[in-house]
Amino acid sequence: MTDGENTSEPKAVPPPWRRLLVSRGGLATSSLAIVLIAGAALGAGGTRLAQNWAPRSVMLLQPAPIDRMVERSPVAIKGDVAEIFGNKFVLQDGSGRALVDAGPRGEDRVLVAKGETVTIQGRFDRGVVRADVIVHADGRNEALGRPDRGPKGPKGPKGPKDGPDVRADRGPPVPDRDGPDPDAPPPPPR
């Protein structure tokens, strides 16, 4: 060995307080990053919930010709009801025809009559007008929008379990669709 170096002694290690400061700095940085990420996630979720709970505003728009509707935009159209298909109907004016969807609130109700003149306010999306308000010629208004959601969802507290048995109307069970056939013999033992 030359120059009197002793290789068996450990190299200089920073004092314990110095090592502690380095780990505190790393801990503070990672904690700050976690808090920022969690805050961003909670903020985005909170904004989404606030949008769902906020009351929907109804815009008062002047009716425009059907052929002037712009995709994914609020619209107001006025015309005569040409055809009715459950909660959907075709509205026509001098410029064209449009399919109007009254949504779930339009089911099981007679909203319009064939030949009636109505004004529809809603949103034109994917080739269909999603109606929010129907204004009849006699001045009656029907607000449609989203269905009210009770404490246990749109079906209410009882839900679908108290409704009719859907499987009874579909004929004999099909194993791939309805699960295993209850009348089938058990598989052979192994």
Whether the predicted pLDDT of 186 surpasses 60 = yes
119 within 8 A of 129, measured Cβ to Cβ: no
pLDDT tens-digit readout, 134-147: 999 998 998 886 65
User: Residue ranges per domain, the chain?
Assistant: 17-52, 66-143
Residue closest to 93 by CA, chosen among 82, 105, 108, 106: 82
pLDDT band, residue 29 (cuts 50/70/90): confident
Pick the more confident residue, 23 or 38: 38
Q: Is residue 78's pLDDT more than 80?
A: yes
CA dihedral 59, 143, 155, 152 (to 10 degrees): 50
3-state class (DSSP) for residue 89: strand
Q: What is the pTM of this model?
A: 0.49
For domain 66-143, the CATH superfamily is Bacterial OB-fold (2.40.50.200)
User: What average pLDDT score do residues 83-90 get?
Assistant: 93
Segment among 14-18, 36-40, 89-93, 126-130 with least mean pLDDT: 14-18
Least confident of 89-103, 128-142, 159-173: 159-173
The pLDDT of 99-125, averaged and rounded, is 91
